[in-house]
Amino acid sequence: MTLLLFLKSLQRKAEKELKEAKELKQLDDIFQKYLGKKGELTAILRSLEKLPETKRAKVGKQANNLKNLVKQRIEVKAKKMRLVKEVAKKTDWIDVTIPGRKPLAGHLHPLTQIKSQAEEVFQSIGFSVVEGPEIENEWYNFDALNIPKDHPARDAWSTFWLKDSKLLLRTHTSPVQVRYMEKNNPPLRIIVPGRIFRHEATDASHEINFYQVEGLMIDKKVSAANFKAIIQEFFKRFFGKETKIRMRPSYFPFTEPSFEVDMSCLNCRGEGCPVCSQTGWLEMMGAGMVHPTVYKATGLNPKYWQGFAFGIGMDRLAMMKYKINDIRLFYGGDLRFLNQF
């Protein structure tokens, strides 16, 4: 084989190997194999001087071309490989300038949302928001509200008593009426949103703990007509539409006269559905004109003052607003339910 043909076959071999090389190390090996100290091409280049002059120019040119070609291919390919490596490395980095993933955040419970909405509406018609303790004594929860010991009306509020004490979990928010009247002189206009407790069996409309919004308005000439107007306005603003209400006579020891207030069911517009147990009406609150005994218990003179009190079932407000027919859903902690609000 002539040297020229040998160079050609060397070139084919080198090109094939270069094509197949996948690692920088392989490129290095190829360099050594052809152009290293003991490289095949190096050997030819060294032997050029021994060639007769006629051949030397031609073979020399070919050999140098091949040398340049191999060198150039290796360089180009190595550059590419280094770039790929660099990019791969970069994707492993932590880029601290990228905004972090948002941690899962909770949101307000539907009843908390309802509480703020109710507060807002009452504040917009001149009521202040007041709070009271969840652990009460008999005086505030019962006696001062004209429910003395052994009075049958106490049975209406099945009570959780605290062990070894005369304390109890308040069965309604009405004790805060008493606490507030003791410390403040009329005119009074307050609401008291809060948690209450009843020792009762639970079902779709009863829970052992739930929420009320107590209301109290006392001045020189506050009538049941004022009560009706204010409650109607409250419902209108709270539900965002005109709602029908009706007042039925009722009995509470701390009000006289007493009423129960129903609103027309928003779910079926009064036609009857599961939310309103087919009646078209939902009982929303107990209310009445503050009883003289309560004024006396708090040091106010019933001759000078008159007013009304009410206790709205906050859970019922929420059930009506969101069309929920089971109160227990609010307390079950099921995220599939809660995430809808």
Q: Tell me how far, at minimum, the Cβ of 333 lies from ligand PHE, in Å.
A: 25
Which one of 41-49, 54-62, 309-317, 319-327 is the stretch in contact with ligand PHE (CB under 6 A)?
A: 309-317
Taking residues 167 to 186 in sequence order and writing x for each that binds ligand PHE by CB under 6 A, - otherwise, the string is -----x-x------------
Q: Which residues inside 260-299 make contact with ligand PHE, applying CB under 6 A?
A: 286-288
- What residues contact 335, with CB distance under 8 A and at least 6 apart? none
- Is 256 a known ligand-binding residue? yes
Q: What stretches of 21-109 show up as alpha helix (H) in DSSP? A: 24-35, 40-47, 53-92
Q: For residues 294 and 174, what is the distance between their CA atoms, to the nearest angstrom?
A: 11
| Identified binder of ligand PHE from the candidate list 62, 141, 146, 255, rule CB under 6 A | 255
How buried is 56 (Cβ within 10 angstroms: 0-12 exposed, 13-18 middle, 19+ buried)? middle
Pairing of strands 245-252, 255-264: antiparallel
Among candidate residues 15, 11, 12, 6, the one with its CA nearest the CA of residue 74: 15
Q: Which residues inside 195-254 make contact with ligand PHE, applying CB under 6 A?
A: 252
Q: Return the ∠ at Cα 160 (arms to 156 and 163), rounded to 5°.
A: 145
Nearer to ligand PHE, 171 or 243 (CB): 171
Contact call for residue 312 and ligand PHE (CB under 6 A): no
Nearer to ligand PHE, 74 or 287 (CB): 287
Q: Tell me how far, at minimum, the Cβ of 312 lies from ligand PHE, in Å.
A: 9
Three-state DSSP class for 168? strand
- What residues contact 60, with CB distance under 8 A and at least 6 apart? 45, 48
CA dihedral of residues 312, 314, 317, 319 (deg, nearest 10): -140
DSSP tag of 102: P
Q: For residues 321 and 315, what is the distance between their CA atoms, to the nearest angstrom?
A: 10
Nearer to ligand PHE, 34 or 310 (CB): 310
Q: Tell me how far, at minimum, the Cβ of 114 lies from ligand PHE, in Å.
A: 18
Which one of 7-15, 90-98, 274-282, 307-315 is the stretch in contact with ligand PHE (CB under 6 A)?
A: 307-315
Q: Which residues inside 119-178 make contact with ligand PHE, applying CB under 6 A?
A: 172, 174
Taking residues 30 to 49 in sequence order and writing x for each that binds ligand PHE by CB under 6 A, - otherwise, the string is --------------------
| Identified binder of ligand PHE from the candidate list 73, 310, 315, 324, rule CB under 6 A | 310
Which residues contribute to the annotated binding site for Mg(2+)? 256
Which residues contribute to the annotated binding site? 256
User: Interface residues with ligand PHE (CB under 6 A)?
Assistant: 172, 174, 252, 255, 286-288, 309-311
